[in-house]
Amino acid sequence: MRVGAFHASMPGYYATRLVELPELAAELGVGAVLVKDESDRLGLPAFKILGASWAVNCTLSKRGGFDTPATGLPELRERVGNAAITLVTATDGNHGRAVARMAQLLGLAARVYVPAGTTAKTLKAIADEGAQVVQTELRYDDVVRAAASSTTNRPADILIQDTAWRGYEEIPQWIVDGYSTMFDEIDAQLGERAPDLIAVPTGVGSLLQAALQHYRKTAQQRSPAVLAVEPVTAACVTASLAAGKPISVDTSRPTSMAGLNCGTVSTIAWPAIRDTLAAAVVVTDDQAHTAMRRLHELGVPAGPSAAASLAGVRAALGDTSQRKALATRTDSIVVLISTEGAV
């Protein structure tokens, strides 16, 4: 795969910053804390465009009869031509906007379904990308089903969804593969240093899957512990780990961590989560907001979902047994994935 090269061909690409925050290292009792700041990724305020762009590339290239994805955006535009295609997805915000942006870049239509409680600002941001926004009174899991059903018997409609279920796994895997650019950047930015703990805000588990895939395939002598952080109101990974199998949870209670308000683990993420995840922790909205304010003080414009990574590390390392289980020492290097900008 040439994922990074494809992203580098897109307008506004640069490696998002990995900022070291010694103040947090002192607060957490570790050697270093670094934040991967995804508040400006390819002109959008979240990392989601990495997965959406690569999945759209792979999907449209395959649909056009090509054996490999396009090497860059200009080549993909040539492959798409004047095709009458509509990209369809469900979203709580950032993924839908990313799919809509790809449609705009390729001259395609986009239809984006959103759950109940989606803010007016989010609706406008998606619509401003040129997408048709379909408002519903449904929870996220049900919105995903509605978006998928809407493409039935409509061959010009293509579902670009960032979660997998039985029978729909290829495109979500391409989305996960697209997220690899973030972790490749982190490796390059760390240089000779190796992380000991990676904290990942977690919804359906696709970004978490990308982290687990990346750090389990490197040639490092030791792989970092990966920590999943979920809202206490939408802890599908934590519940599934406790049950020993994927289970869905009720997400009807609202949370400010809208990007993580997901009730069902992606089917393709579950095996990696089950077999290689070090730990999962849940956080409250109050904990996320406290972490968000601290990150803002330190110059990182994180939203509530992004700040969950700091909130989760605070909770995990504040528990003696969990700190020991994560093998976190006073010289450990901790990386927090800050998935979105301030909202």
Burial 76-96 (b: 16+ CB within 10 A, else e): beebbeeeebbbbbbbbbbbb
Catalytic residue at 324?
no
d(CA 330, CA 126): 43
Catalytic residue at 36?
no
Residue 240 C-alpha from the chain's centroid? 19
Please tell me whether residue 87 adopts helix, strand or coil conformation. Answer: strand
Q: Which of 37, 40, 67, 92 is catalytic?
A: 92
The count of residues in the chain is 343
DSSP state of 17: P
Contact 295, 307 (CB under 8 A): yes
Helices (H), ranges, 128-191: 140-150, 170-178, 180-190
Q: Which residues, listed in sequence order, are joined to residue 335 by a DSSP beta bridge?
A: 34, 198
d(CA 281, CA 271): 18
Q: Which of 36, 37, 40, 48 is catalytic?
A: 48
The structure tokens 């239509």 sit at 109
Q: Known catalytic residues?
A: 48, 92
